Amino acid sequence: MTTPATTEALDFVVRRDDVRVHACRPAARSRPHAGQVLLRIDRFGFTANNITYVTLGDRFSYWSFFPAADGWGRIPVWGFATVLESACDGIVAGERFFGYYPMSSHAVMEPTRVTPVGFVDGISHRRELPPLYNRYIGTTSDPAYAEAAESEQALLRPLFITSFALDDWLFDNALFGARVVLISSASSKTAYGLAFLLAERKRREGVAFEVIGLTSGRNRGFVERLGTYDRVVTYEEVPSLPADMPTVLVDLTGDTRLVAGVHRRLGEGLRRSSSVGFSHWEAVDRDEPETELPGARSELFFAPAQIRKRSVELGPAEFQRRFASALRRFVAATRDPVRGWLRIVEAGGPDAVARVYLDMLEGQTSPDQGHVLSLRRA
């Protein structure tokens, strides 16, 4: 193991009690101890999904993965990192891994279960956290990796695995007897991924159901141009939804009033109400009378549980093969010369990261943009 001189690292942190307050702070770049590796975080995607991590940081232990000083949090992100130094058998400097990293320039990890495919971070504070987030996949052995599409993968892969798990869960349960799938925050990349997979199912399997995208008036045109939803309805048009049709709601807004409005409109026709994301994060806790809503009870969808279930049933290799194939098709769709819609926006440095963070927090980003960032200057 080589031991170059220690240089300054950077951590992007936010106040857990006021997430608009943020800072980029220097941190000593620790050399790895025996059994550890030091990684340089090369690039990571940043989307509304990361705002969900902020919103649910305490409730689902997202702040626990990469601890920060009291009162502060490091936001988890998905992306690619390179091993700078290794004191761990089976991992060498220069290897690259896709996985779950802090919003930082560097990270020290303690690989366990090292295989040619990758490793699990076994550092003590992560051992009791959901294992899906602790796995790191080497780019040389990853069936889903494509170097030419690395930016798209940093951005879309963590979102699309949720889309993939949702699609699998819905059909694992025969759509709960529904004939309509209603997807809110329809302009979001996770929602589009689900709509893309549902459209594939309809073509491939000949199943008959309607996919309705629920979105803001501002984003209606964009969602209609995607071509994956059978119908697009704005939030103000919820009273026009087909109340007589058995429906599953997949909510990615977290907006309690919106969800309550859908429940009241659809009544007992609402067969399942699944909460997935929190793109409208400021609306999560706003007042909504505590009355029993008609229809199915709203429940949180936890993608790792469905991924774990199907990985056991199919075997991990087969599950990953199916996911990799679907991801390649999805990325290709975003690049399609006619229907393609995604504009990758890459930026580096603390100021650029802070701008994107605040814009995402305030809902000021365009749905056709995909932000791929690094704390190192571009």
Q: Are residues 42 and 116 in the same domain?
A: yes
Domain boundary among 304, 334, 361: 304
Domain assignment of residue 311, yes or no: no
Q: Are residues 224 and 94 in the same domain?
A: no
Model confidence over 168-221: pLDDT tens digits?
999 999 999 999 999 999 999 999 999 999 999 999 998 899 999 999 999 999
Lowest mean pLDDT among 3-7, 148-152, 307-311: 3-7
What are the residues whose beta carbons fall under 8 Å from the beta carbon of 95, sequence distance 6 or more?
82, 83, 138, 140
Q: pLDDT band for 338, please (50, 70, 90 cuts).
A: confident
Domain boundary among 257, 285, 304: 304
- β partners of residue 373: 44, 347
Question: In which residue are the tokens 């925050």 written?
Answer: 185
Q: Are residues 50 and 180 in the same domain?
A: no
pLDDT at 2 over 90: no
Q: What is the pLDDT of residue 302?
A: 87
Domain assignment of residue 128, yes or no: yes
Model confidence over 143-154: pLDDT tens digits?
889 899 999 999
Q: What is the pLDDT of residue 89?
A: 96
Number of separate domains in the chain: 2
pTM: 0.87
Both structure tokens of 210:
């309607």
Domain assignment of residue 247, yes or no: yes
pLDDT at 110 over 80: yes
Q: What is the pLDDT of residue 31?
A: 83
Q: pLDDT band for 377, please (50, 70, 90 cuts).
A: low
Domain assignment of residue 334, yes or no: no
CATH number of the domain within which 71 lies: 3.90.180.10
Run of H or E including 364: none
Q: Are residues 75 and 164 in the same domain?
A: no
pLDDT at 286 over 70: no
Higher per-residue confidence, 246 vs 256: 246
Q: What is the pLDDT of residue 27?
A: 85
**What percentage of the chain carries pLDDT values higher than 70?**
94
CATH number of the domain within which 225 lies: 3.40.50.720
Q: Are residues 165 and 299 in the same domain?
A: yes
Tell me how far apart the alpha carbons of residues 318 and 86 are, in angstroms, rounded to a whole number. Answer: 31
| Chain centroid, CA 172 distance in Å | 21
From first CA to last CA, the distance across the chain in angstroms is 28
Domain boundary among 280, 304, 328: 304
Q: Are residues 178 and 253 in the same domain?
A: yes
Q: pLDDT band for 285, please (50, 70, 90 cuts).
A: low
Domain assignment of residue 326, yes or no: no
Lowest mean pLDDT among 47-61, 139-153, 231-245, 273-287: 273-287
Q: What is the pLDDT of residue 114?
A: 97
Q: What is the pLDDT of residue 3?
A: 35
Lowest mean pLDDT among 27-31, 183-187, 277-281, 327-331: 277-281
pLDDT at 8 over 90: no
pLDDT at 228 over 80: yes
Count of CB atoms within 10 A of residue 352's CB? 18
Both structure tokens of 346:
């890459």
Q: Are residues 362 and 291 in the same domain?
A: no
Domain assignment of residue 314, yes or no: no
Q: What is the pLDDT of residue 270?
A: 96
Q: Are residues 177 and 120 in the same domain?
A: no
Model confidence over 78-106: pLDDT tens digits?
999 999 999 999 999 999 999 999 999 99
Q: Are residues 164 and 268 in the same domain?
A: yes
pLDDT at 28 over 80: no
Count of CB atoms within 10 A of residue 221's CB? 11
Q: Are residues 78 and 206 in the same domain?
A: no
Domain assignment of residue 69, yes or no: yes
Tell me how far apart the alpha carbons of residues 102 and 44 are, in angstroms, rounded to a whole number. Answer: 10
Residue-range definition of the domain harbouring residue 230? 158-304
Q: Are residues 236 and 352 in the same domain?
A: no
**What percentage of the chain carries pLDDT values higher than 90?**
76
Q: What is the pLDDT of residue 58?
A: 87
List Cα–Cα distances, 300 to 273, 278, 295, 305, in angstroms.
Answer: 9, 11, 15, 11
Domain assignment of residue 121, yes or no: yes
> What integer best gives the mean pLDDT of the chain?
91
Q: Are residues 34 and 63 in the same domain?
A: yes
Q: What is the pLDDT of residue 6?
A: 40
